[in-house]
């Protein structure tokens, strides 16, 4: 009887393990058709290295980490803690009237090897989502000078108003701090077999 119960428990344990294995390790299950991640898909990432327009140059490496699991249908495509690598593609220096801006191009995602017992590398075409044209920063600075203009109303004393002149302050450098969250936009369809 003990022998029969032992075999039964082992059999049930293998069945439960197989279900868990299929769900969390989709690399071992073969989908009927390839999985396609469409252009415009967003991934939430955290910056692992401080990046700024003052200290970094074009071509410097950047590293981000995926915050959540990404599923397509029932397949786990990019597990949590996948590393996303890229380079600084362009830097616009600060000028009078405009803060500095930086553009980061992402080129590969490496899945963690802790859960999957091996890592996979996917080559992507993506950018960190910015305010416009995939640039982070580049905002207009505050006016440097104001002039006082009097407004006269009938029966009232003049009201003074400050109006900005067309002279703006000098821009500041843009910093992407370690630990800040950003969104990655995948630019081209990514096919996963």
171-193: per-residue pLDDT in tens? 999 999 999 999 888 888 888 76
In the predicted model, what is the mean pLDDT of the chain?
81
Tokens 């299950």 sit at which residue?
A: 29
Distance CA 85, CA 63 (A): 5
11/85 same-domain check = no
* The pLDDT value given to residue 76: 82
Total structural domains within the chain: 2
Same domain, 2 and 59: no
Give the domain range for residue 25: 1-30
Count of positions (residues) in the chain: 193
Residue 29 has pLDDT above 60, yes or no: no
Residue 88: which CATH number?
Answer: 2.40.128.260
> In whole angstroms, what is the distance from residue 91 CA to residue 100 CA?
7
């Amino acid at each position: 009887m003990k022998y029969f119960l032992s075999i039964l428990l082992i059999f049930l344990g293998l069945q439960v393990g197989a279900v868990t294995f299929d769900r969390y390790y989709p690399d071992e299950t073969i989908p009927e058709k390839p999985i396609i991640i469409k252009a415009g898909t967003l991934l939430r990432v955290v910056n692992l290295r401080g990046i700024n327009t003052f200290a970094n140059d074009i071509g410097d490496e950047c590293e981000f980490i995926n915050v959540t699991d990404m599923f397509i249908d029932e397949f786990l495509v990019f597990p949590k803690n996948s590393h996303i690598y890229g380079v600084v593609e362009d830097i616009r220096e600060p000028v009078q009237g405009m803060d500095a801006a930086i553009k980061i191009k992402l080129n590969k995602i490496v899945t963690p090897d802790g859960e999957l017992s091996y890592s996979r590398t996917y080559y992507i075409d993506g950018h960190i989502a910015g305010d416009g044209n995939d640039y982070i920063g580049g905002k207009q600075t505050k006016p440097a000078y104001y002039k006082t203009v009097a407004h006269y109303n009938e029966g009232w004393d003049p009201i003074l108003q400050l109006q900005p002149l067309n002279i703006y302050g000098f821009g500041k450098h843009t910093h992407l701090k370690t630990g800040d969250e950003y969104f990655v936009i995948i630019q081209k369809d990514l096919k996963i077999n």
